Chains A and B, each alone.
Chain A
Amino acid sequence: MNWSEFFHMGGYAFFVWTSYALTLIIVVANIISPIRQRKKVISRIKRAIKREQLQQSNE
């Protein structure tokens, strides 16, 4: 089997490769999203800590 035959997928190239591309997108999204979520949570807590320190020093 050569490469062009492989990519042709017996005429079903669009359906097969779209499925695999979508799977890749879902996998990548599942990797990126929790990493971004973690950064957001940490920066939010850091801001809250700073705010509390400011309030304490103002009192």
Chain B
Amino acid sequence: MWNWIQRFSSPKYFYSMSAVLIPWFAVGALLVGLYGLYLGLFVAPTDYQQGESYRIIFVHVPAAWMSLFIYMVMAVSSGIGLIWQIRLADMVAAASAPIGASFAFLALVTGMLWGKPMWGAYWVWDARLTSELILLFLYLGYMALQSAIEDQRSADKASGLLAIVGVVNIPIIHYSVEWWNTLHQGATVTKFDKPSIDIDMLIPLLLMAVAFKLFYAAVVLVRTRNEALYRDRNRRWVRELIAQL
């Protein structure tokens, strides 16, 4: 079993396998995303309270979900890297950070653009917004630690610990709309009850969420391949591969 894990998590094996997967994820993201955009912008009905402004939901909510999802990927792979010393896991974590940061940033800015017409302010220091801002800082902190520490193993340890400790922020973000009085609307999809959102709005929202996930899968694979090349730059498999390029 251990040998099996070691073999399949070797950067060399990953490098050749991932090349096959990337185009599928990329094309999938494009097709699902275009269909989601079509349904979201042209088919979904106007909201009876928020008018057309609610259409920001189709980019805002998937971006926010992704910022949480990618953080969990980063924290779990950091944990695997710390505990079992699987180098590929540390590479996935390092590759995820800039993507996650970009989605956290997107969630915040599209949220501001939605908040201004609906709440009358771009920014309020309420629990949901503040905790999402902290998430962005956690991503940036992880990236800063990665680039500040010269020795790769120490860098992975330090930034990995930060990622794991920061997981405490994830449930805070999710439940912030219930625990505190907030301007931000409550959950409409991720709750145990029937989602309180019209089915014609829900479908494009879920399609966009799937498209963002596929997009992340493609990008994180490319970035992890770069990490593998760079970190293994003195190993034979990289040298042989570069010689062929």
Q: Do A and B bind each other?
A: yes
Is A42 in contact with B242, judged by CB distance below 8 angstroms?
A: yes
A45 CB–B CB distance under 8 Å:
yes
Q: Known interface pairs A12-B51, A23-B110. Does A34 touch B219 (Cβ–Cβ under 8 Å)?
A: yes
Q: Known interface pairs A30-B102, A30-B215, A48-B233. Does A22 touch B226 (Cβ–Cβ under 8 Å)?
A: no
- Give the complex CA separation of A34 and B22 in angstroms: 13
Number of B interface residues at 8 Å Cβ cutoff, please give it.
37
Looking at chain A's contact residues, is the secondary structure mostly helix, strand, loop, or mixed?
helix
Looking at chain B's contact residues, is the secondary structure mostly helix, strand, loop, or mixed?
helix
Contact of B222 (CB < 8 Å), options: A9, A35, A42, A44: A35
- Give the complex CA separation of A42 and B225 in angstroms: 11
- Of all chain A residues, the one with the shortest Cβ separation from B228 is A41
Interface residues of B, Cβ cutoff 8 Å to A: 41-42, 46, 51-53, 55-56, 59-60, 63, 98-99, 102-103, 105-106, 109-110, 113-114, 116-117, 215, 219, 222-223, 225-226, 229-230, 233, 238-239, 242-243, 245
